[in-house]
Amino acid sequence: MQDKKQLFFKGMHHGIPVALGYLAVSFTLGIAAKRAGFTPIQAMLMSLTSNASASEFSAINLIKNGGAYIEIALTTLILNLRYILMSCALSQKLGSKTGIGHRLVMSFDITDEIFALSVCQRNGLSPYYTYGIIAAALPCWAMGTFLGTLSGSILPASVMSAMNVALYCMFIAIVLPPAKENKIVGFLVIISMAASTLFTYLPGLKQLSSGTMIIILTVVISLAAAVLFPIEEKDDKKAVEKEASVSCESR
């Protein structure tokens, strides 16, 4: 096992590309936060305590529209459920002597990118490696949100209006890769868009708040996908590790 300090700096080194990506994406999140009435400090604190783009954007939108606390909490919970599964998967790579304290700290900031880098580690995973990734990535996520919110107070309205397009580009960048790789995912994305449109315009449905709409659509479509398109189980652990290793080597 490498020295803890070496593992930490190795994680920081591997986390630099993630940090740069986070800086760009969270800038657009900051723009949305400014439109919802957040101050730069408030937006930065939100990103420091919740490093999750989709759930943060949804929470900002709900706050902007006067959503109830329970809506915000349930929406955030549902959108972040996948991180619980990722945390469980990473726990299998940790040594048996890894204490509960390390496990809790690691679980605080498990994101798609941090999970991908951590799960690629061969011969087990040290929490200090993941700490290094977090130390590089999380400050950039918070700083990008801060700068995006701050720019909303400085830049003219015409420029801010043009930059709002970046929010849609962010979600296109998130959705398109898995949709192109898996036809079922692409089909479900189209179904989600169609259902969201119905909720927006149909009488009775359009009266529902955006938070309630997100909760209903997420639960119903996810449940239907799990029942209609189950994933075949074939040596799952080896398959996941092989796929993750290939993904990491291609970065």
pLDDT in tens, 165-200: 665 665 676 677 777 778 888 888 888 888 888 888
Would 210 be classed as within a structural domain?
no
Of all residues in the chain, the percent with pLDDT exceeding 70 is: 82
**By residue range, what is the domain housing residue 140?**
4-167+233-249
54-68: pLDDT as tens digits = 788 888 988 888 888
Rounded to an integer, the average pLDDT of 190-216 is 79
Q: Give the C-alpha separation, 215 to 196, whole Å.
A: 11
189 belongs to a structural domain:
no
159 is a domain residue: yes
Is the Cβ–Cβ distance between 36 and 63 less than 8 Å? yes
Is 225 within the bounds of a domain?
no
How far is it, in rounded angstroms, from Cα 221 to Cα 229? Answer: 11
Q: What is the pLDDT of residue 2?
A: 56
pLDDT value of position 119: 81
User: Would 219 be classed as within a structural domain?
Assistant: no
pLDDT band at 243 (very low <50, low <70, confident <90, very high): very low
Instruction: Write out pLDDT tens, residues 119-163.
Output: 878 778 889 999 999 999 999 999 999 999 998 777 776 666 666
Residue 69 included in any domain:
yes
Q: What per-residue confidence (pLDDT) applies to 229? A: 82
235, 98 Cβ separation under 8 angstroms: no
| Domain-embedded: residue 187 | no
Domain count, the chain: 1
Query: Are the beta carbons of 49 and 143 closer than 8 angstroms?
Result: no
Name the β-bridge partners of 29: none
> In one letter, which amino acid is 230?
P
Confidence class of residue 41 from pLDDT cuts 50, 70 and 90? very high
Name the more confident of 88 and 2: 88
Contacting residues for 167 by C-beta, under 8 A, at least 6 apart: 28, 31, 32, 57
Long-range CB contacts (< 8 A, 24+ apart) of 38-46? Answer: 38/149, 39/149, 40/146, 40/147, 40/149, 40/150, 40/153, 41/146, 42/149, 43/145, 43/146, 43/148, 43/149, 44/142, 44/143, 44/145, 44/146, 44/149, 45/142, 46/145
| Residue 227 domain-assigned (yes or no) | no
